[in-house]
Structure 1
């Protein structure tokens, strides 16, 4: 695994959680959320970051978190459409169904202020999501990586988020500006292009 250099971390600050880190970024006009599940974070974006558009990108074929049970795999897309019915009518919520990096390829370059990545957690999927997102961010924009952890200790699954994120930052000159904690260490990192 490639090791980050001082230049990738020199401006990094800690945040108690992702919400604190995201609030410190301020208002974000155009947001993409890659991996939506129940839309909880999408709703948070709309209430806290004053976006004009939140692009909700997902395959929409997952069941809800265990214990939440708001929808089944078959009901996933319908749940999202019902939950954001008003925001869809106002063109504030834009629902995009498909493989995340393929969907991102259809957006113009320099379109988003913030891209939040929480889709496939295997190395190849994370790498493709990062590559697909790099040119879609405006100058000074942010990419946020969810679950910056190498191993999911709850489901006994290896993740490739750390490896793919570090490689992306080294190869493309991006830096960490926030490391946001999570009670079970499914932390978030906020990335920005080094000027």
Structure 2
């Protein structure tokens, strides 16, 4: 099978060079090296205080695999940030979506071979129409969907406040009224690199300003937690 026959290239063509960027914002923008830079970034990120209505009834889950059983199944979904498709395998096994769009530019050195890996790994699902690859940035790919088209999205991109905020706002339009917005790395950063994340701040601000609430939070052993939101 030729993977190109089943890959939607309308978002960003890899051969054009545009796909070499992880997102509309460089993935390195929030990867600061010094303590002072990290403090400046942390202090400049908006903080939002939630009301009880945004957390009432929320449940804790042991990990993000358990979350997949609770997202709408037999659904039309999008995984935004795929890399080599490790979590994709869990989505297909545990959630059984009717159609799963895989969105990633696969352009950085770290993931440059990812699309070939994904195309091979899910060749049968791609051929059968369950999996559709959309190579491109998160915002460009999301914008191609009709409003209300998706049942849920799972966001795992560069974890910066700026991009995460834009992804959430765009997902607000693209996810249907009863749908979910979920995502990875609901934590303050990567302590090994070190990298400052803005996911917590972006998600909290989004809930407060767009009328969403937490449905689930996961407590993964690696402390890179996942969230799941539903509309109020």
The TM-score, its normalising length taken from structure 1, stands at 0.91
1:51 is aligned to 2:97: yes
Give the direction of change, closer, same or farther, for the CA distance of 1:5–1:46 in structure 2 (3 Å limit): same
Q: Which has the higher helix share?
A: 2
SS in 2 for 1:109: coil
Hey, which bits of structure 1, 4+ residues long, moved more than 2 A? none
What's the counterpart of residue 22 of structure 1? 68
1:123 is aligned to 2:161: yes
**Do 1:28 and 1:114's aligned partners in 2 also have CA atoms closer than 8 Å?**
no
What's the counterpart of residue 100 of structure 1? 138
1:31 to 40, 65, 77: 77
Cα distance in 1 for partners of 2:190, 2:54 equals: 25
Per-residue deviation, residues 81-132 of structure 1 (Å, max 9, x unmatched):
1111111111111101111011100100111111000012111110111111
Cα distance in 1 for partners of 2:71, 2:77 equals: 12
How much has 1:38 moved relative to structure 2? Answer: 1.3
What's the counterpart of residue 138 of structure 1? 176
1:84 is aligned to 2:130: no
What's the counterpart of residue 9 of structure 1? 55
1:170 is aligned to 2:216: no
Unaligned runs of 5+ in 2: 1-46
How much has 1:62 moved relative to structure 2? Answer: 4.3
How much has 1:78 moved relative to structure 2? Answer: 1.2
CA RMSD of aligned residues (A): 1.3
Per-residue deviation, residues 41-94 of structure 1 (Å, max 9, x unmatched):
21211122121111000011246xxxxxxxx64322211111111111111111
Cα distance in 2 for partners of 1:122, 1:28 equals: 31
What's the counterpart of residue 229 of structure 2? 191
1:181 is aligned to 2:219: yes
Cα distance in 1 for partners of 2:107, 2:79 equals: 16
**Do 1:62 and 1:76's aligned partners in 2 also have CA atoms closer than 8 Å?**
no
Report which of the two structures shows the higher radius of gyration computed on alpha carbons: 2
**Do 1:37 and 1:62's aligned partners in 2 also have CA atoms closer than 8 Å?**
no
Give the direction of change, closer, same or farther, for the CA distance of 1:26–1:108 in structure 2 (3 Å limit): closer
Unaligned runs of 5+ in 1: 64-71
